[in-house]
């Protein structure tokens, strides 16, 4: 189920909120937890009920592994349990996400002809697998208590973070679940959560999905792009991904606040970063935290000299690339970010004195690497790179702008077609650069929570939120999935 869908906004969310707070009035908290798990399973299984088998099975198996740490006292035994837990989680992830990729590459390298049916990728498997891996490792380190099963099930399946993050740690969620103060509505938190949800919905529906119209059209038309059109396409993709992911994070945190839960921040104005390292402090913060805590630091982090640090950085970003998907484009993207991190670690003083100049350099590099991330294959990525640097100039941008056939501009487009056809192309170009300008302005503006703190309780802020919700709600007929659902 999608946050940006009629069924979620008009049916699922009201039922979930009423049921949760209604059952919290009981002395026994168990019915409310059972209800929350049940609603989360409905949310997850709405797209494909068969995926529930994987989610429920993964939850039960990982909880069983965590219980083994309670009864296993020897160091060797606990390490065996840890290795078993890691192998089970990585094995499931490998089978569903990478097995087809592995077979295809074996066929290519070994000239074999192994044929298997394509394995469907369950939604959110990377997210709930990493989340449970963190718990298993914390149990081994004795950093996590022995929770009851329903507390653990709520932690894993809680629907706002289930499919696309944030990757929540047990101590960020379960204590809130168990706290009695969260058993009744906090109206201030509920208002803030509603405002966050609306701002995130607007980012997704009114910006990301509109930017996607151009991106999707031109990624299917790369051979015909000229140099300016190629750069506009990759900039629009970076902005699409930015507002798509930012919108999802705002909506997830907003729903969490409605239920009385504070989910960790996952997105902190990453396109204002002054370096690639700074970008990863801001972009998908909980994934960066997982990779740092459970891979980078155990490998030695930066404690064993520059060479080991550089090796560890490359390993982490290779894992990050593979985590995002089973395609060599993701691997190359990860390695390019790893190379940039190594460069910054080895040459920390090779920077401009002005932060705005560093932002431009970091932004161009990040946008360029994400153009490879978006490509369907390395050959398509290479074709796009040739267009970026040797695409020539043949006015393709005019044709690119004509893809913006928005419902909001229908009347104007019809009038121009009938009365002033010579103004159609200038109108489309104006729309294109107006969309670009608005997007860049918002990238540099206040974060959603900062905006709410400043404007949310004022009449002007309430009016803006109401109008934004109505506009986004009307536009839900163009509903699309969040990009990070694919990862």
SS3 at position 117 = coil
Instruction: Show the beta-strand stretches assigned E in 118-185.
Output: none
What count of residues does the chain have? 487
Task: List Cβ neighbours of 391 (8 Å cut-off, separation of 6 or more).
Answer: 225, 226, 227, 228, 229, 230
- In this structure, are residues 135 and 170 in contact, taking their beta carbons and an 8 Å threshold? yes
What stretches of 444-458 show up as alpha helix (H) in DSSP? 448-455
Give dist(CA 218, CA 225) in Å, integer. 8
> Active site residue: 284, 324, 337, 394, which one?
324
Give dist(CA 170, CA 480) in Å, integer. 31
* Class of residue 319 by CB neighbours under 10 A (exposed 0-12, middle 13-18, buried 19+): middle
* Class of residue 160 by CB neighbours under 10 A (exposed 0-12, middle 13-18, buried 19+): buried
* Class of residue 109 by CB neighbours under 10 A (exposed 0-12, middle 13-18, buried 19+): exposed
- Told to judge if 324 belongs to the known catalytic residues of this protein, a careful annotator would answer yes
- Greatest extent of the chain over all pairs of C-alpha atoms, in Å: 84
Give the other-Cβ count within 10 Å of 409's Cβ. Answer: 14
Give dist(CA 96, CA 131) in Å, integer. 17
**Ramachandran assignment for 333, one of left (phi > 0), alpha (psi -120 to 50 degrees), beta (any other):** alpha
Active site (catalytic) residues: 324
């Amino acid at each position: 189920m999608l946050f940006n869908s009629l069924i979620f906004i008009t049916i699922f969310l009201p039922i979930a909120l009423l049921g949760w707070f209604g059952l919290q009035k009981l002395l026994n908290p168990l019915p409310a937890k059972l209800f929350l798990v049940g609603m989360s399973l409905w949310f997850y299984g709405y797209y494909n009920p068969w995926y529930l088998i994987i989610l429920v099975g993964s939850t039960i198996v990982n909880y069983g592994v965590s219980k083994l740490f309670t009864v296993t006292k020897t160091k060797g035994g606990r390490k065996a349990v840890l290795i078993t837990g890691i192998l089970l989680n990585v094995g499931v992830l490998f089978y569903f996400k990478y097995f087809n990729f592995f077979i295809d590459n074996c066929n290519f390298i070994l000239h074999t002809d192994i044929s298997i049916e394509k394995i469907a990728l369950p939604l959110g498997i990377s997210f709930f697998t990493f989340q449970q891996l963190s718990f298993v490792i914390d149990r081994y380190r004795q950093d996590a208590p022995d929770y009851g099963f329903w507390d653990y099930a709520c932690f894993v399946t809680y629907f706002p973070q289930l499919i696309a993050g944030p990757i929540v740690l047990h101590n960020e969620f379960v204590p809130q679940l168990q706290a009695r103060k969260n058993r009744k509505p906090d109206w201030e938190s509920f208002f803030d959560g509603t405002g966050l949800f609306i701002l995130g919905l607007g980012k997704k529906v009114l910006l990301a999905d509109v930017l996607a119209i151009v991106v999707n059209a031109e990624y299917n038309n790369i051979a015909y792009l000229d140099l300016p059109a190629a750069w506009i396409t990759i900039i629009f993709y970076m902005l699409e991904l930015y507002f798509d992911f930012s919108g999802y994070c705002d909506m997830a945190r907003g729903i969490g606040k409605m239920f009385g839960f504070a989910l960790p921040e996952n997105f902190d104005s990453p396109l204002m970063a002054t370096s690639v390292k700074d970008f990863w402090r801001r972009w998908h913060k909980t994934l960066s935290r997982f990779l740092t805590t459970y891979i980078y630091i155990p490998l030695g982090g930066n404690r064993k000299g520059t060479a080991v640090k550089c090796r560890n950085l490359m390993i982490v970003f290779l894992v990050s690339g593979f985590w995002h998907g089973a395609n060599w484009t993701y691997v190359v993207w990860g390695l390019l970010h790893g190379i940039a991190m190594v460069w910054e670690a080895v040459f920390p003083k090779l920077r401009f004195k002005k932060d705005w100049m560093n932002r431009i350099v970091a932004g161009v590099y990040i946008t360029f690497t994400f153009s490879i991330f978006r490509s369907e294959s390395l050959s398509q990525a290479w074709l796009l790179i040739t267009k970026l640097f040797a695409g020539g100039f043949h006015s393709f941008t005019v044709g690119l702008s004509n893809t913006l056939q928005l419902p909001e501009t229908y009347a104007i487009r019809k009038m121009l077609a009938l009365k002033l056809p010579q103004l159609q192309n200038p109108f489309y170009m104006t729309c294109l650069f107006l969309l670009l300008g608005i997007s860049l302005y918002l990238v540099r503006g206040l974060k959603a929570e900062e905006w709410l703190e400043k404007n949310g309780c004022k009449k002007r802020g309430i009016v803006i939120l109401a109008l934004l919700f109505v506009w986004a709600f009307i536009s839900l007929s163009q509903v699309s999935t969040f990009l990070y659902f694919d990862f």
